[in-house]
Structure 1
């Protein structure tokens, strides 16, 4: 999700000792390798599809056994009053980082990632769009993951953050992005052994076919970001043709939705249109990038839109 600046620190603080005690108590089998195989990166799943050992972002999100055995972590998450999607503890080994990237997948169009550091040291730096911060233990941060960002663990110890994805409520966004009061007036969330808070988790149910209104929203958002890698007549002409292709795609998808609905009838017609747009867009998008993060226009179209147009079955 795009934000108005790279980082926002939320005016709330958590019990570091309790956070660290619960995380340290997790058994070794709670930790699994990063799904992309990044060396030195591992995670413990806290909220996942079905509460299982999966990194899927589709389906009913539920607490895992690791979160069930961590009552303060649950209290921390429930206290924000938002609906949580996939959430994990993410660990970086000493001297390891997360390579620079931008999060362009469909999942991130409407979601932001909350970071609450648990184990960290001043040598750990989070970089986003030319800015760099150290997120201290017990703090809460969000950042604009549409911009290019990376992390460096320059410490001689593991860095572990609680990271949780949400679309957020209006109250959450006011809390997160308004001018904060002085730090000594920030809310502190103490460990409450008697608390049994309700944790809200996402039910990411997809229709078999993406509705026309969502396609129009996603494509329109992409179109506002298109820029030229080099300002040449060829690139300008290609950009104009790419724009026309996207406009036509939205119009034709709307007609197919009007004819078949979005419950799954006429899947083949939808797939044929998506495939035709994919083949036409690939060469036209050469030399076109996203203004904010310089990601390739075709790659964003593919990952944010085309890959998600038709599900094998509704979930």
Structure 2
């Protein structure tokens, strides 16, 4: 479901460029991908210092803090502040050209469980294929998407440039649920 929010692609890319010297951490679930799927944590579980623990979004954790990487990113901070709900983890997730995220499901990642994952493409290309329930979802830079990732999904970057998404894990409150209620009423 595309949310009725949109962020400036130029400003999103500027914040990404501000992190050019920041190391990316390989995603820790190696069996789910081939190639380079990596992450920069912008908000993580409180007290975490190890890079792998910083990119993990524990579904039962309740205490999250901004990482030092977020300090260099004023627009990412503005984007995050737009979400008037409790913000859990926030990560930049990169899939380099030729890389594939194999079909899998993310447990406890759906609005019905009270945990919502939002994707905001920062950089993408027409040859990125994101499949949810084996149906293609075309996401453009700056758009805001909720995807029920408890359903089967896979991604392939067949293009020549990185696909980077700003990924927010949020607690569903009345403000956030309003987007879903509006869709239900319209349907």
TM over 0.5: yes
- Could you tell which deviates more after superposition, 21-30 or 135-144? 21-30
* Aligned position for 2:7: 14
Instruction: State the Cα RMSD in Å.
Output: 2.0
Structure (1/2) with the larger helix percentage:
1
Deviation digits for residues 28-66 of structure 1, max 9, x if unmatched?
333111122343101100110126432342362100011
Instruction: Give the number of equivalent residue pairs.
Output: 172
Question: Is it true that 1:111 corresponds to 2:115 in the alignment?
Answer: yes
Paired residue secondary structure (2:167): strand
Shift >4 Å, 4+ stretches: none
Q: Which residue of 1 aligns with 2:104?
A: 101
Q: Which has the higher contact order (CA 8 A, sep 6+)?
A: 2
- Of 85, 89, 100, the match for 2:88: 85
Residue in 1 that maps onto 2:138: 134
Tell me what 2:22 maps to: 29
Q: Give the unaligned 5+ runs of structure 1.
A: 1-7, 181-315
> Normalising by the residue count of structure 2, what TM-score does the alignment of the two structures yield?
0.84
What is the distance in 1 between the residues matched to 2:180 and 2:70?
Answer: 24
State the alpha-carbon separation in 2 of the partners of residues 170 and 126 from structure 1: 29
Matches within 5 A, 1:109-258: 109-176=113-180, 178-179=182-183
When structure 1 is superposed on structure 2, of 20-29 and 171-180 the one drifting more is 171-180
Which structure has the larger Rg over C-alpha atoms?
Answer: 1
Change (3 A) 1:177 1:95: farther
Contact residue 100 and residue 155 of structure 2 kept, 8 A: yes
Residues 10 and 177, structure 1, Cα contact 8 Å, conserved in 2: no
